[in-house]
Amino acid sequence: MPLLVTGSVGIDTVRTPFGVSENCLGGSAIYFSMAASFFSSVRLVAVVGPDCPFDLSRTFAGKDVDLQGVEVRAGSRTFRWAGSYHGPMGEAITDKVELNVLAEHPPQVPAGYKDSRYVFLANTAPALQQKLLEQIDKPSFVAADTMNCWIRDHLEDLKRLLQRIDALVLNDGEARQLTSEANLTKAAKQILQMGPAIVIIKKGEHGSMMCDKDGGHFHLPGFPTGEVKDPTGAGDSFAGALMGYLAEQDRTDLEALKTAIAYGTVTASFTVEDFSTQRLASLTRADIDERLEALRKLTQF
Amino acid sequence: MPLLVTGSVGIDTVRTPFGVSENCLGGSAIYFSMAASFFSSVRLVAVVGPDCPFDLSRTFAGKDVDLQGVEVRAGSRTFRWAGSYHGPMGEAITDKVELNVLAEHPPQVPAGYKDSRYVFLANTAPALQQKLLEQIDKPSFVAADTMNCWIRDHLEDLKRLLQRIDALVLNDGEARQLTSEANLTKAAKQILQMGPAIVIIKKGEHGSMMCDKDGGHFHLPGFPTGEVKDPTGAGDSFAGALMGYLAEQDRTDLEALKTAIAYGTVTASFTVEDFSTQRLASLTRADIDERLEALRKLTQF
């Protein structure tokens, strides 16, 4: 089943204890698409400026990612982000951000994409996420990501969006912020009451948890990798593999979701092993499947 | 197989967002013994002062815990701890501590306990842990806990102890402190190089991880409980159930360790549901087994 993603394409500068990667390819839609493409065909909807130095057709060469939905907007500039990670690298510190094209109107969804069944709305203003969603005819499964600034400054928009999507994917700090509830199990239940049938909470190196409206639960630790060079894109590649697997299987029941989260976990564990999309670019589905089996062994008792 | 534990018996005052429990029963050896007794007979070695207001024979009535090793030391006073938890209650803040009897010489291990095969040295000065260990004839499996102050102020003693034990159980912050390594997978490997064949890192609500010298790994999330009233004793009851299960099975291979960690996880998840040992006191092995199966369902894919 074709999977549509809307999100950012960015020019990143990332500093970690392992080095600096200047003006490298980044953005939620990039990490998402690369991860999802191991499982499903991907339709990428995003906007860049004419200053974008990356040849995306080369980036995605050999991968099943349709770039028809990438608009190069004349007179605008590409999103730029500079961030750094310290100590256990649990959280990025934003050193500088230029929203540029992201602060403008959202891209147009190409007519040929309107039949997309699986849709992921990567993190952006919830009103824009809703506008993008309205361009899809009859999606069967819609998931969205969000972040602290939208919860703080656009809560009403976000609550409206939550009534239109099937799954919310967010991190633990955001779940606590959205619900004013410290206990994540209780926070997840509160989020379900806001609309989505499924909530997936990402906990960085501590893995993730999922709760659904039917009382289904799933908890998985992170895949332990001794090589964490750059956590950028971990969450987006987690979501990409997760949605890619669901689209591949065309199933969103509890068992499919569990396996999808496990695929998200291992794919994200590759992403962080190198800067930017370098590790993802050299990855194969066989590598991912092998690590999935390793994760199974690591966690089963 | 009989399991011996040495640790503290304390008079605790605990404040959490859910209330205050004043002058209640606490201490590592209490939580450990209560948890371990669901699996194995326990020999408790500890010292209190004549001011100890608790009737331990009543506390452990109906449980297989031998109290012969509890010394009531004339002229001394019982260990007292006052602590509080805030927000997500991840870490206790010590408001007041009176070491009292814990600052004196360690208890004598009764002659009848010297044949103990499984031994747990709960958190205290590593030199004292070693003195207690030397009183056991031929233990087959020795595990120890430690904490930040010993790592900071008694590192050489701790390193000596690490060469005499089979397993170290500590929390994530302590593992990072002991190794100056932020990545927990790398930290675990470094700890293995210091002596023990097994290291178990507790990550609070995020569960635990285990690594052994043969390359065995195990990662398990915490059991999600919506009812966290008082986290005191979670780590000690985790260790108690873990060691109790190993002693019951008289096996310490990787498969046994995995199940032991799962039992530790679910037992600790009961402990935090009420103040002091109240939840543990009303618990049955059937409750624990039922939650173990729930944990299996929650984590398997």
pLDDT of residue B126: 94
**Residue A299 forms contact with B (CB below 8 Å):** yes
Per-residue model confidence as pLDDT tens digits over B40-80:
999 999 999 999 999 999 999 999 999 999 999 999 999 99
Q: How far apart are CA B257 and CA B227, in angstroms?
A: 27
**Residue B46 forms contact with A (CB below 8 Å):** no
Per-residue model confidence as pLDDT tens digits over A259-269:
999 999 999 99
Residue of B nearest to A218 (CA): B298
**Residues B247-285, buried b or exposed e (16+ Cβ, 10 A)?**
bbbebbeeeebbbbbbbbbbbbbbbbbbbbbbbbeebee
Q: How far apart are CA A232 and CA A272, in angstroms?
A: 7
Directed axis angle between helix A254-271 and helix A234-249, to 10°?
A: 140
Per-residue model confidence as pLDDT tens digits over A125-157:
899 999 999 999 999 999 999 999 899 999 999
Judged against a pLDDT cut of 80, whether residue B226 lies above it is answered with no
Judged against a pLDDT cut of 90, whether residue A210 lies above it is answered with yes
**B261/A301 Cβ within 8 A:** yes
Alpha-carbon dihedral sign for residues B113, B114, B118, B119? positive
Judged against a pLDDT cut of 90, whether residue B178 lies above it is answered with yes
**Residue B199 forms contact with A (CB below 8 Å):** no
pLDDT of residue B124: 86
pLDDT of residue A124: 86
Q: Which of A209, A261, A299 sits opposite B219 (nearest CB)?
A: A299
Min mean pLDDT across B4-13, B122-131, B288-297 is at B122-131
Per-residue model confidence as pLDDT tens digits over B82-135:
999 987 787 889 999 999 998 899 999 999 999 999 999 998 889 999 999 999
Chain B contact set for A206 (CB, 8 A): 203, 206-207, 221
Q: What angle do CA A256, A260, A239 make, to 5 degrees?
A: 140
pLDDT of residue A90: 77
Q: Which of A185, A205, A209 sits opposite B225 (nearest CB)?
A: A185
Q: In chain B, what percentage of residues exceed pLDDT 70?
A: 100
Judged against a pLDDT cut of 90, whether residue B212 lies above it is answered with yes
Alpha-carbon dihedral sign for residues A233, A235, A237, A239? negative
Q: What is the ipTM of this complex?
A: 0.82
pLDDT, averaged across chain B: 95
**B185/A301 Cβ within 8 A:** no
pTM: 0.88
pLDDT of residue A92: 87
pLDDT of residue A9: 96
Please compute the mean of the pLDDT values over residues B247-275 and round it to a whole number. 97
pLDDT, averaged across chain A: 95
Residue of B nearest to A300 (CA): B300
Confidence of residue A89 (pLDDT cuts 50, 70, 90): confident
**B87/A226 Cβ within 8 A:** no
| Residue where the block lists tokens 């909470």 | A201
Q: Which of residues 204-223 of B touch A (CB under 8 A)?
A: 205-207, 209, 217-222
Phi, psi at A295, each rounded to 5°: -65, -40
Cβ neighbours of A277 (radius 10 Å): 24
Q: How far apart are CA A227 and CA A131, in angstroms?
A: 39
Residue of A nearest to B89 (CA): A182
| Residue where the block lists tokens 């009292």 | B100
**A209/B206 Cβ within 8 A:** no
Q: In chain B, what percentage of residues exceed pLDDT 90?
A: 89
Q: How far apart are CA B108 and CA A258, in angstroms?
A: 51
Q: How far apart are CA A217 and CA A213, in angstroms?
A: 10
The tokens describing B200, both together, are 């178990």
Per-residue model confidence as pLDDT tens digits over B137-159:
999 999 999 999 899 999 999 99
Sheet with strand B10-16: strands edge to edge: B19-26, B10-16, B79-84, B93-98
The tokens describing B214, both together, are 């043969």
**Residue A224 forms contact with B (CB below 8 Å):** yes
**Residue B228 forms contact with A (CB below 8 Å):** yes
**B183/A299 Cβ within 8 A:** no
Residue of B nearest to A185 (CA): B226
Confidence of residue A21 (pLDDT cuts 50, 70, 90): very high
pLDDT of residue B69: 97
**B217/A298 Cβ within 8 A:** yes
Transcribe A81-121 into DSSP letters: EEEE--TT--SPEEEEEE-GGGGSPPPPPPGGGTT-SEEEE
**A203/B298 Cβ within 8 A:** no
Confidence of residue A33 (pLDDT cuts 50, 70, 90): very high
Transcribe chain A into DSSP letters: --EEEE---EEEEEEETTEEEEEEEE-HHHHHHHHHTTTS-EEEEEEE-TT----HHHHTTTS-EE-TTEEE-TT---EEEEEE--TT--SPEEEEEE-GGGGSPPPPPPGGGTT-SEEEE-SS-HHHHHHHHTTSS--SEEEEE--HHHHHH-HHHHHHHHTT-SEEEEEHHHHHHHHT-SSHHHHHHHHHHTS-SEEEEE-GGG-EEEEETTS-EEEEPPP--S--S--TTHHHHHHHHHHHHHHHHT--SHHHHHHHHHHHHHHHHHHTTSSTTHHHHT--HHHHHHHHHHHHHHH--
Min mean pLDDT across A93-102, B56-65, B152-161, B244-253 is at A93-102
Q: How far apart are CA A193 and CA A176, in angstroms?
A: 15
Please compute the mean of the pLDDT values over residues B240-263 and round it to a whole number. 98
Confidence of residue B192 (pLDDT cuts 50, 70, 90): very high
**B224/A217 Cβ within 8 A:** yes
